[in-house]
Amino acid sequence: MIKVSPRHADNTIYAKTIDAGDYWMHVVEQGQTLRILDLEGNQAADTLFYNAHDVVERYSAIDTIREQRNVYLTAGSDLISNHGNVLLEIIADTCGRHDTLGGACATESNTVRYALEKKCMHACRDSWLLAVAEYPEFDMNKRDITHNINFFMNVPVTEEGGLTFEDGISDAGKYVELTAKMDVIALVSNCPQLNNPCNAYNPTPIEVLIWDQ
Amino acid sequence: MAEIFPDKAIMYEDEIPGGAHWSMLMRKGTTLHLIDKVGGVNVGMLFYNPTDKLERYNAPDTLKCQHTFKLTKGHCLYSDMGRIFCSIIDDSVGWHDTVGGNLTDANMKKKWAVKTYQEQRNDWTISGEHGFLVELAKHGLNQRDMSANLNWFSRMFADDEGNLNFDSANSKAGDYVDLRFEMDTLVLFHTCPHPLNSATDYPKKTLIYQVRKAAPVADDDFCMNSRPENQRGFQNNAIYHLQGGQ
């Protein structure tokens, strides 16, 4: 569902551009609104969320899908934790559909999907593993890297049980906005994938913006 | 009743009642044959590498590597390290779920009348969540290690808009699925209902499972050749085994 935001970039409390291949790990406080902006189009923002006060509670793709009885995320979707609580709500979305089935790229899954020789190409999971190593204060490790959201990715499910990877429906300037329902840690990998035609083999920067309300 | 026949085709056979949980080691080169005894069973399942439990079943990688939402004969079940825990070498059902997740304790209590152990002894109602937590703890794991699980014999399908429906008649008495293990695997499982099961009472359905020796994987193996991705997954396993991995 397309829903435009009333917020303006001139009164944010925080804004940062994340290059492709980089990660962003940041606490978004309860009541604050996070926008993830696709600056150049068809980029994938692989995203995980955690309860900032107890990282054992984290975004759960399967609980979110099941509780809303729908496989896609868009405006109105509640992002549900493994404890059944709402972490954030998607309150605006100019893209219309986001994936949470396909997971993130990893060097190992790249060997299966593309070629064994591609194992040393940079991947989202490497960015996350570096993030949890560089932020020891959150006391996280590989066990906490779970099944993520792929903002701006289009992965349709067919009635016959197929899973297809379609060209993105995002474009330069499209965004998704989420209001935090509790203090959350956001962990974003701006996907470095060079093997997937979905981003025209050209990963590009995204921007994250935060408003106090 | 558990029966042990080390020299026969079926080396071991056992039953697990509905609403129960267990865990066990499956060796490379053996098969786990799951049979729905009375129809309508759901088997929640998770896999870990017993020698490095950080390596575990990864549902998103399994689905995206094979461009599928359902699981059936020919599909391989991947770890997060690009290796194959097991292949589905036979299946009379046609569709198994790995997206619907697990019956949480809170959802079970919202949905069904709770039968306590005090009143009902082992006919009590437990959730898939508690079943997995107990089995995880047996192996030094906890809820941080509980990832998206398999739901054998269950089907959840999506329409064009992505809306989900649960098929309450997916599996009949005698239906089966056969898993061939391609590496040593710690298997955690329970027979608690699928979280979208809308039966009036908590359904208790018995699972029969059999362990057999697998035939060697031939060059023309159906699972290995079902997609080029699976050929590469088998190559990853081969590298792991030649370096001493079991």
Per-residue model confidence as pLDDT tens digits over B108-124: 999 999 999 999 999 99
Residues A71, B162: C-beta atoms closer than 8 Å: yes
User: Cα Rg for chain B, rounded, in angstroms?
Assistant: 18
| B225 pLDDT above the threshold of 90 | yes
Cβ proximity of B191 and B96 under 8 Å: no
E strand or H helix that includes residue A80? strand A78-80
pLDDT at B1 exceeding the cut of 70:
no
CA neighbours within 13 Å on the CB side: how many for A40?
Answer: 13
Give the start-to-end residue ranges of the domains of chain B: 22-242
Token pair belonging to A110: 């790249």
Is some CB atom of chain B closer than 8 A to the CB atom of A115?
yes
Question: What is chain B's mean pLDDT, rounded?
Answer: 97
Contact B54 A163 (CB under 8 A): no
CB A202 within 8 A of CB A43: no
Average pLDDT over residues A148-172: 92
Q: A143 and B144 in contact by Cβ < 8 A? A: yes
Residues A157 and B63 sit within 8 Å (Cβ to Cβ): no
* Distance (Å, whole) CA B192 – CA A111: 35
Q: B234 vs chain A: nearest CA distance in angstroms?
A: 9
Q: Which residue has the tokens 């290690």?
A: B145
CB-based contact (8 Å) between A104 and chain B? yes
Report whether pLDDT(A84) > 70.
yes
Residue A116, chain B, CB below 8 Å: the answer is yes
Which SS3 state, helix, strand or coil, does residue B133 take?
helix
Secondary structure class of A83 (helix, strand, coil):
coil
Residue whose pair of structure tokens reads 């998770």 in the numeric block:
B46
Q: Does A82 touch chain B (CB under 8 A)?
A: yes
CA distance A153 to A199: 9
Dist CA B195 CA B192 (whole Å): 9
pLDDT digits (tens, 9 = 90+) for B135-169: 999 999 999 999 999 999 999 999 999 999 999 99
- Dist CA B203 CA B48 (whole Å): 28
* Of B177, B182, B178, B179, the residue nearest B216 (C-alpha): B182
On the CB side of B68, CA atoms within 13 Å amount to 22
What does the pLDDT read at residue A198?
80
Give the nearest partner residue to B64 out of A66, A159, A163, using CB atoms: A163
Query: Token pair for residue B118?
Result: 């005090």
Q: Which element (helix H / strand E) includes A126?
A: helix A124-134
Q: Mutation test of the interface with chain A: which of B144, B149, B159, choosing the one with the most A Cβ atoms within 10 A?
A: B144
Please tell me which residue of chain A has the smallest CA distance to B147: A146
Q: What percent of chain A has pLDDT over 90?
A: 94
The answer for B 9-38 residues in CB contact with A (under 8 A) is: none
